[in-house]
Chains A and B, each alone.
Chain A
């Protein structure tokens, strides 16, 4: 038997996906996706929120079954219909939301599903030994008897990785692993990933942060709207190229807006902090001033305090420290509730319209009065008049081009863009003095995006003070007069819109101090 020359046979890719498609109802989450991941490499998959990355990995891990397509693991075609089969194929996954049982200990979590016998004793002992070995090999130190719920997020992630390694995973998928980590924790993670690679493991890293991709991967695949649009070597690409591939040749966001002199200060915030239920300070000493007739945009990676800022200003959460002035008057705790703030003229378009801004089980007309159901215009005394509500909704839907303009239709049946227009119409028609806007165009089609942007600009020109939070940097840059960057709950810098550039803002969003 002669051994074939090594160079002639390329080793089979660790993972090969061919023509994977998956549809959830009307949404085509993955469309004819192909992917090759070389064994022993770190492969990045980037794309915007909703591009289909997580769905693809869930299919690879057997959490969902693909409608069509083929999965090959190390060259062999595999049917992966359940996570158990993925584990058997040597695939491990670290989910964005950890799959841990918080009341169990580290070692119990590690053996769950791989106990190695009906009695726990032997399995737990083996797991302890293996954990000791892994902590030696990779520096993954952890107390095997600690209760997982008591561990920090970084350590919980470590448990997830150990779980996969304990099951003998050769291929490790990490879904947005740094979304919840502090920068030092993230750096530790990258060191670990390199160590795993050195041991011959294959790593698939899903993220929307380009810095991480450039930092740690060998190759990158880019997804957009459910499709793979590019496969490149990391060394041969740049963040700019990747960003362009991620967003596609989108109609460039250039919103016509005349320069405008801002009016007096309407909303002044000083030293605002917020400590959440897990004792984490998610807002740190935030101060900003909002003037009449200007749009102030908050740029930041999701989860850096923007949501808390909006909610604190809208009266949905109570800040632990700080002062909020509205038209020069300090708002006390009793006044910081959504109903009172609305009466004062502070309206809010929430980030997650389906979960907070609408009751999707209600008719569109009923949603058009959400938050204003106490308005005497909608009925006599304690009663509501359907005729009045419907007439109001009909007029609002006509003005905001809500389609179909049917007030009786259940809100869940409207498209994302039209749902957003219902919210927008409701809040803007009330002549706000201050408008808080969160993710105005998330999940909204192109046509509606332009419409919404024009409305916001018109509102600014009419003298409304607008605070805009969006994870779409482009949107923030196109709409804002001033841009504040947030990172780790702090405001890390301010730029005038004319002079701001993407790179500079990116550094601020990453928390790189201005002096550096």
Chain B
């Protein structure tokens, strides 16, 4: 092992290394499946059939993909600024509170105003909750990683308090808000596509998916085609050069964290406005953490993030179907796969680059 960075061609760096590490992660998952006495081949078949074998399955897959696109992009934007935002869960939680308040308080407004305002509220809530750790790092020197971890817990207790004591549905056993008005929710995809003659089964997939696709394009344009994105990448790659270029790293840290938080807010838009139509406790359900895996696997590029989000969508939906047939393989398998992918594509990146580099050398030697 040497300290010299391993130089790989671009295609290998962007494509082969993530592929190899994902393959290795799935291999580990396969071993776990074997370990609990099931056949990985059968599990894979069931999983793929469940995720992609029917229109309903595909719809569910894309619904999950929506969540991962948002949380993955949130982590990716922060990465480009050299920051590690582990606070996606907390930012989405706060965004959920903002969405719920907007939908409940602004209910008298017509849908055409209410829906965009509620989406903006989600973005603002997430942005604010991302901005504060950014501001603390930029001006007070406290590290974003620790602050966002602590902020996740603070957001969770805050939402418990609000749901139990303040905005909870009176008389409900569950901690939840009353259901939003019909015009305050996002259109389900099957209703959206019905006028076009497309008949889809009723699933949670809703117009937030289109918003997620738009976010992919927008983040791509931001990072690779805008002046702000240029500044963000400069700060992330070389803060000293950024200062030399007249770019203020402190300002960029705050801006990038706010954008990252706003993107995490997309999770609330999909779940709260699109699916549950009310605010529930813990609706973030770990999507924020899987977003780290999505961003790492996607190498921070929107195309990669989109593909990685789709993979996790397949795993989530397929995993849900799989656990029907094989109760011993619960959806937590996806969490394991996410963890292993983070380990392989993130922390052990050096090892996998080495593996790919030796593979290429071996291949070209023959």
Contacts and interface: CB of A to CB of B under 8 A. Distances in A.
Contacts of A357: 241, 244
A338 B225 contact: no
Contacts of A356: 240-241, 243-244
Nearest to B238: A359
A249 interface: no
A101 interface: no
Contacts of B247: 339
Contact of B234 (A339, A340, A370, A384): A370
B4 interface: yes
A338 B244 contact: yes
Given A362-B233, A362-B237, A383-B221, A316 B226 contact: no
Nearest to B244: A356
Contact of A373 (B230, B240, B243, B244): B230
A361 B246 contact: no
Interface in A216-268: none
A355 interface: yes
Interface string A353-369: 00111111110001001
Contact of A340 (B226, B233, B243, B246): B246
A355 B241 contact: yes
Contacts of B233: 359, 362
Contact of B246 (A337, A358, A359, A362): A337
A359 B227 contact: no
Contacts of A314: 244
Given A337-B246, A339-B246, A342-B246, A358 B225 contact: no
Chain A CB within 10 Å, residue with most, of B228, B233, B244, B245: B244
A360 B238 CA distance: 8
Contacts of B238: 355, 358-361
Contacts of A25: 4
B230 A338 contact: no
B227 A384 contact: yes
B227 A383 contact: yes
Given A359-B234, A361-B237, A362-B237, A370 B226 contact: no
A348 interface: yes
B227 A371 contact: no
B237 A384 contact: no
Interface string B123-159: 0000000000000000000000000000000000000
B241 A373 contact: no
Interface size class of A (residues with CB under 8 A): 20 to 34
A386 B227 CA distance: 11
B243 A338 contact: yes
Contacts of B231: 373
A407 to B, nearest CB: 15
Interface string A320-345: 00000000000000000111101000
Contact of A371 (B228, B237, B246): B246
A215 to B, nearest CB: 37
Given A340-B246, A350-B244, A371-B246, A382 B226 contact: yes
A384 B246 contact: no
Given A373-B230, A374-B227, A338 B241 contact: no
Interface in B240-288: 240-241, 243-247
A384 B240 contact: no
Contact of B230 (A316, A361, A366): A366
A379 interface: yes
A342 B246 CA distance: 9
Given A356-B240, A356-B241, A359-B237, A383 B226 contact: yes
Interface string A390-422: 000000000000000000000000000000000
Nearest to A366: B230
Interface in B200-252: 221, 225-231, 233-234, 237-238, 240-241, 243-247
Contacts of B227: 373-374, 379, 382-384
A315 B248 CA distance: 12
Contacts of A382: 226-228
A384 B241 contact: no
Contacts of A386: 225
A25 B3 CA distance: 11
3 shortest interchain CB distances as A-B pairs: A339-B246, A338-B246, A371-B245
Interface of B: 4, 221, 225-231, 233-234, 237-238, 240-241, 243-247
Given A315-B246, A386-B225, 19 more contacts: A314-B244, A337-B246, A339-B247, A356-B241, A356-B243, A357-B244, A359-B237, A359-B241, A361-B238, A362-B233, A369-B230, A370-B244, A373-B231, A373-B245, A379-B227, A383-B221, A383-B227, A384-B225, A384-B227
